[in-house]
Amino acid sequence: MLGASIVTVTGNSEAFIENYKGMIEYTDETILLQGKTCRICIQGKKLSIDYYTNEDMKISGRIHCVQYL
Amino acid sequence: MLKLIQYLKGYVIIKVWGFSPERFMNLCSNHQLFLWDIANFGEYYTMCISIKDFYKLKTITRKTGTRVVIQKRCGLPFFVPKLKKRKVFVLGLLGSIVFWIWMSGYIWAIELQGNYYVTNDELMAFVAEMNIEVGSKTSKVDIEALEKSLRSEYDIITWTSARIDGTRLVIQIKENELTETQPTEPTLQEGAGYDLVAEKDGTVVSIITRSGVPLVTEGSEVMAGDILVQGGVPLYNDDTTIRNYQYCVADADIYIRTRYQGTETLPVWYDEKQYSGEEKQSPFIELFGKRFAIKLYRQPYETYDTTLDMHQLRLLENFYLPISYGTERVREYTLVTQQYTKEEAKAIFTERTVKIIETLMEKGVQIIQKNVTMKKDSFNWYLDINFDIIEKAGKITPTTLTIAGEADPATGAPASQDPTAQAPPAQDPITD
């Protein structure tokens, strides 16, 4: 599907996200991303971003839930 | 790999706070500025950014209204200027590297393996003669020549292998173990006659002749010097007189029963070192073969033993350094004259007898009866050894068989063809 975001979660500690427009909110408990079709909300504890580029990003920390808004 | 590149290029850890840090990050990624290790600390964020990208941040911060402060500088571009301030340290580092490389071109230890007969000192002296010493250049050591000369100098060495392990020269040799047991056989001349002669008195137990004429049979008594097998087969005339001898090398397996006699002596009195338990230790360092001892005392003893406990420094397995350290121990003793008791003397003699028996057995001698007696006078203990043994007999000796004026045993030529036949018999060249 064209423009859809790809979220790859490894266990509950790592998540790779591709195809997004940008970040709306980042605290250590919530990361809210603007995708091309919808928003993605990742909630957890001690969330940190290992790297952040235009195409993809890697989130690590303890992930509790991945929500599509 | 990525970490290494990041380190080489250099990066900074920045602290970001202000109106909208999220927007700051979005703009960074839109401008192809790579951010990593982003963490949130409530009101501010920290992240890593490469130096090159850091200089492009200005417009973004102005746009987003965030503030950026460098928290820490990491990587080689920041490290090198620091080193420039510490010139002596860098010089020392480079100096030590050059020093190690330079030192590894020399030999700092010579190790000998496999020598039993030739002593270490002797071999070391020989190796030193070849201009190979501790401290000589590795590139100047001609291993092939060393191996060759070792083999040619010492007959007993049958195999050599030298190799350089790091800064250590390892010389492995193999000695010929048979040389001692092999008797030197007289060089036999072609066409001459040789007898087998008894070396000891005894009784012949068995005889098997392969060549020559046996003069003894089983049971005959022989004396030392008697001919056992004659090295010439007689050729008879028609009138049964001996015309000539056909000379040969006598060969036979002859076993005679004989007596092995020997005496062992042991002085009754002997000096024994009695250590008083007093000892002094002093450390020392040896640099390039020169020893520097740190002596904390003056020599207090009259008679003493000195033992050295020495270690050579090395890097890893094979990089030996010309530095050794260790301790020198001086132990005091007093000489006490002691007397062997009968039991002690007996024990020592038993040990020696066992050794004698072992050497006899090695020679293939069969021992029938053992007879030993111990005696003592005021100075010595004596052990008389009397063994009844069966041993192989017969020593090759040039034959004395000649018919006066007829033939020379060495050449074996009949006299009739000899123009000097009438002259008195020439001296036997072999018996010389």
Q: Quick one: pLDDT at residue B414?
A: 45
Residue B48 pLDDT more than 60?
A: yes
Amino acid at B189: Q
- The pLDDT value given to residue B187: 67
Which pair of tokens denotes residue B7? 């380190």
Residue among B184, B168, B179 at smallest CA distance from B109: B168
Looking at CA atoms only, how far is residue A27 from chain B in angstroms? Answer: 6
Long-range contacts of B325-329 (CB under 8 A, 24+ apart): B325/B283, B325/B284, B325/B285, B325/B286, B326/B283, B326/B284, B326/B286, B327/B281, B327/B282, B327/B283, B327/B284, B328/B281, B328/B282, B328/B283, B328/B284, B328/B293, B329/B279, B329/B280, B329/B281
3-state secondary structure of A50: strand
Name the percent of chain B lying above pLDDT 70: 89
Residue B277 lies in a domain: yes
Question: Domain for residue B322, yes or no?
Answer: yes
Q: Give start and end residues of each alpha helix (H) in B107-257.
A: 120-129, 143-153
pLDDT at B196 (0 to 100): 86
Question: Model confidence at B168, in pLDDT bands (50, 70, 90)?
Answer: confident
Q: Parse chain A into domains and list their residue ranges.
A: 6-68
Provide the residue type at A16 as one letter.
F
Subunit contact A50:B36, Cβ cutoff 8 A? yes
Smallest CA–CA distance from A34 into chain B, residue: B26
Range of the domain at B293: 270-339
| Amino acid (one-letter) located at B7 | Y
Q: Judge: A48–B28 Cβ closer than 8 Å, yes or no.
A: no
User: Lowest-confidence range among A32-46, B285-299, B363-377, B398-412?
Assistant: B398-412
Please give the residue of chain B at the shortest CA–CA distance from A26: B22
List the CATH number of the domain containing B70: 3.30.70.340
Place of tokens 């020559």: B212
Confidence of residue B409 (pLDDT cuts 50, 70, 90): very low
Longest dimension (CA), chain B: 146
Looking at B80, B111, B126, which one is the last position of a domain?
Answer: B80
Q: Directed axis angle between helix B143-153 and helix B120-129, to 10°?
A: 130
Asked if pLDDT for residue B404 goes beyond 50, the answer is no
* pLDDT (tens digit per residue) in B79-124: 888 888 888 999 999 999 999 898 888 888 888 888 888 888 888 8
Q: Which of B140, B159, B182 is the last residue of a domain?
A: B182
Does B235 map to a domain?
A: no
Question: Both tokens of residue B288?
Answer: 């390039």
Mean of the per-residue pLDDT values of chain B: 82
Does B278 score more than 90 pLDDT?
A: no
Search chain A and give the residue with CA nearest B28: A53
The CATH number of domain A6-68, selected from 3.40.50.261, 2.60.40.2000, 3.40.50.1000, 3.20.20.70: 2.60.40.2000
B96 and B165 share one domain: yes
When divided into structural domains, chain B yields a total of 3
The string of DSSP letters for B7-72 reads HHH-EEEEEEEES-HHHHHHHHHHTT--EEEEEEETTEEEEEEEHHHHTTHHHHHHHHTEEEEEEE
Q: Give the lowest-confidence range in B48-62, B75-89, B305-319, B364-378.
A: B305-319
User: Distance (Å) from the C-alpha of residue B66 to the closest C-alpha of chain A?
Assistant: 15
Q: What is the pLDDT of residue A58?
A: 94
Q: Which of B18, B48, B80 is the last residue of a domain?
A: B80
In this structure, are B93 and B72 located in the same domain? no
- CATH code for the domain of B161: 3.10.20.310
What pLDDT is recorded for position A13?
93
H-type alpha helices, B140-209: 143-153
| CB < 8 Å from B in window 21-50 of A | 22-28, 47-50
Give tens-digit pLDDT for B357-397: 888 888 888 888 888 888 888 888 888 888 888 888 888 88
Give pLDDT, residue B186. Answer: 59
Q: A13-50: per-residue pLDDT in tens? A: 999 999 998 999 999 899 999 988 889 999 999 999 99
Do residue B61 and residue B95 come from a single domain?
no
